Structure 1
Amino acid sequence: MPESAPRRRLLPLFTDLGGGRSPKTCQYRCGNACFHPAPNKSDNPYFGDIFRTVLSRRTALQGAAVTAGAGALGLSSVAPAVANDRNHPSPRPTFKAVQPNTDDAVTVPENYDHHVIIRWGEPVLPGAPEFDFENQTGEAQAQQFGYNCDYVAFHQLDDDHGLLWVNHEYTNEELMFAGYTDGSEAEPEQIRVAIAAHGGSIVELERRNGTGQWCLAGGERPFNRRITGNTPFRIAGPAAGHELLRTEADPDGTEVLGMLNNCAGGYTPWGTVLSGEENCDQYFVGGDRAPEDQREALARYSIAVEGETYVGRRFDRVEERFDLARHPHEANRFYWVVEIDPLDPEAQPVKRTMLGRFKHEGATTALTEDGRVAVYMGDDERFEYIYKFVSAKKYVEGSRKHNMSLLDTGTLYVGRLTGNSPEEEIDGTGALPSDGEFDGTGEWVPLTSDSESFVEGFTVEEVLIHTRMAADAVGATKMDRPEDFEPSPVTGKVYCCLTNNDAREPGQADEPNPRGPNKFGHVLELVEGGDDAGSESFSWSVPIVCGDPEDENTYFAGYDKSKVMPIAAPDNVTFDRDGNLWVSTDGQPGALGVNDGLHVVPVEGRFRGELRTFATVPVEAECCGPLISEDNKTVFIAPQHPGENGTVEEPTSTWPDGGFVRPSVVCIWHTQGRDVGRT
Structure 2
Amino acid sequence: MSVAAATAGSLGAGTAPAAAASAGTSGKSAGKPGGKPAATAARGLRYSSVAPNTADAVTVPDGYAQNVVIRWGEPILRGAPAFDPEKQTAAAQAGQFGYNNDFLALLPLPGECDRQLLVANHEYTDEVLMFRGYDPANPTRQQVEVAWAAHGLGVVVVEEDRRTGKLTAVPRHHLNRRVTATTEFRLTGPAAGSALLKTSADPTGTKVLGTLNNCSGGTTPWGTTLHGEENFNQYFAHGGRATDKRYGIGTGATERKWERFDERFDVAREPNEVHRFGYVVELDPYDPASTPRKHTALGRFKHEAATVRLTDDGRPVVYSGDDERFDYFYKFVGSKRMKKGSGRAVREHNLSLLDEGTLYVARLTGDSPAIEIDGTGKLPADGEFDGSGEWIPLATATAKGAVSHVEGMSAEEVFVFTRLAGDKAGATKMDRPEDIQPSPVTGKVYVALTNNTNRGVGANAKADEANPRNANKHGHILELTERRGRPESTSFAWSLFLVAGDPDDPATYFAGFPKDDVSPISCPDNVAFDPHGNLWISTDGSQLGSHDGLFGVATRGSRRGELKQFLTVPTGAETCGPVIQDRRVLVAVQHPGEVDGATVDRPASTWPDGPGKIVRPAVVAVWRKDGRDIGV
The TM-score normalised by the length of structure 2 is 0.92
Match of 1:541 in 2: 495
State the partner residue of 1:324: 267
Aligned to 1:331, the other structure's residue is in SS state helix
2:86 aligned counterpart, secondary structure: helix
Query: Structure 2: which amino acid aligns with 1:411?
Result: T
> Match of 1:214?
167
The one-letter amino acid of 2:608's match is P
CA RMSD, 1 decimal: 1.7
CA distance in 2, matches of 1:554, 1:21: 24
Shift, 1:83, TM fit: 4.8
Deviations along 1:305-354, one digit per CA (max 9) or x if unpaired, are 3xxx4631111122111011100111000011000000000000010000
The amino acid that maps onto 2:468 is P
Aligned length: 595
For the residues of structure 2 that align with 1:608 and 1:473, how far apart are their CA atoms? 38
Q: Tell me the residue number matched to 1:463.
A: 414
* Corresponding position: 1:186 with 2:168: no
Q: 8 Å contact 2:226–2:282 — kept in the other structure?
A: yes
- Asked whether the 8 Å contact 1:260–1:280 carries over to 2, the reply is yes
**Aligned residue in 1 for 2:427:** 476
Q: CA deviation at 1:132?
A: 1.2
**Percent of pairs with identical residues:** 55
> What is the Cα deviation at residue 370 of structure 1?
2.1
Tell me the alpha carbon deviations over residues 475-496 of structure 1, each in whole angstroms, 9 at most, x when there is no partner.
Answer: 0000000000011111111101
Match of 1:587 in 2: 541
- Deviation per residue, 1:112-151 (Å, 9 max, x gap): 1111011011101111011110110111111111110100
Give 1:365's aligned residue: 308
Consecutive unaligned residues in structure 2, runs of 5 or more: 7-22
Aligned residue identity for 2:250 = A
Q: Residue in 1 aligned with 2:619?
A: 665
Q: Does 1:381 align with 2:324?
A: yes
CA contact (8 A) 2:102 2:120 kept: yes
Residue number among 354, 359, 363 corresponding to 1:407 in the alignment: 354
Tell me which residue corresponds to 1:553.
Answer: 507
Extract structure 1 runs of 4+ deviating beyond 6 A: none
How far apart are residue 397 of structure 1 and its match?
Answer: 2.1
- Within the candidate set 312, 315, 332, 2:255 is matched to 312
Give the Cα–Cα distance (whole angstroms) in 1 for the partners of residues 153 and 38 of structure 2.
42
Query: 2:383 aligned with 1:436, yes or no?
Result: yes
Preserved contact between residue 211 and residue 633 of structure 1 (Cα < 8 Å): no
Deviation per residue, 1:540-587 (Å, 9 max, x gap): 000100000011111101111110011000000000011000000001
Name the counterpart of 1:299: 245
Q: 1:21/1:187 Cα in 2 relative to 1: closer, same or farther (>3 Å)?
A: closer
Partner of residue 396, structure 1: 339
Say if 2:3 and 2:594, in contact at 8 Å, map to a contact too.
no
> Equivalents in 2 of 1:117, 1:543: separation in Å?
33
Residue 504 of structure 1: which of 455, 458, 466 is its match? 455
Deviation at 1:389, TM superposition (A): 0.3
1:234 maps to what in 2?
A: 186
Q: Cα deviation per residue 1:479-536 (whole Å; 9 max; x = unaligned)?
A: 0000000111111111010000000017710001000111000001010011011111
> Aligned in 2, Cα 1:73/1:553: closer, same or farther, shift over 3 Å?
farther
After TM superposition, the structure 1 stretch with the greater mean CA deviation from structure 2, 259-268 or 151-160, is: 151-160
Partner residue in 1 for 2:20: none
Task: Measure, in 1, the Cα distance between the counterparts of 2:476 and 2:165.
Answer: 31
The answer to whether the Cα contact below 8 Å between 2:76 and 2:170 also exists between their aligned partners in 1 is: no
Contact 1:586 1:622 in 2 (8 A): yes
- What SS does the aligned partner of 2:335 have? strand
> What are the equivalent positions in structure 2 for 1:162-311 lying under 5 Å apart?
162-182=116-136, 184-209=137-162, 212-217=165-170, 221-288=173-240, 295-305=241-251, 309=252, 311=254
Q: Deviation string for 1:44-86 (max 9, x for gaps)?
A: xxxxxxxxxxxxxxxxxxxxxxxxxxxx99433643586544x
Measured in 2, the distance between the counterparts of 1:119 and 1:93 equals 28
- Write out per-residue CA displacement over residues 24-61 of structure 1, whole angstroms, 9 at most, x where no aligned residue: 9xxxxxxxxxxxxxxxxxxxxxxxxxxxxxxxxxxxxx
Aligned pair 1:447/2:394, yes or no?
A: yes
Q: Tell me whether 1:640 sits opposite 2:590 in the alignment.
A: yes
* Alignment check: 8 A CA contact 2:4 2:573 kept: no
Letter in 1 for 2:573: A
Q: Distance in 2 between matches of 1:358 and 1:379?
A: 6
Give 1:286's aligned amino acid.
H
> Structure 2 vs 1, CA of residues 73 and 118 (structure 1 numbering), >3 Å: closer, same or farther?
closer
- Counterpart of 1:470 in structure 2: which amino acid? A
- Structure 1 residue ranges without an equivalent (≥5): 1-17, 25-71, 289-294
For residue 439 of structure 2, what is the amino acid of its counterpart?
A: S
Query: What is the TM-score normalised by the length of structure 1?
Result: 0.86
CA contact 2:44–2:630 (8 Å) conserved in 1: no
| Residues 521 and 570 in structure 1, CA contact (< 8 A), matched pair in contact too | yes
1:141 to 1:649, Cα distance in 2 relative to 1, 3 A: same
Asked whether the equivalents of residues 38 and 47 of structure 2 are also in contact (C-alpha less than 8 Å), the reply is no
| Whole-Å separation in 2 of the counterparts to 1:544 and 1:369 | 29
Residue 620 (structure 2) pairs with residue 677 (structure 1): no
Letter of the aligned partner of 2:72 in structure 1?
A: W
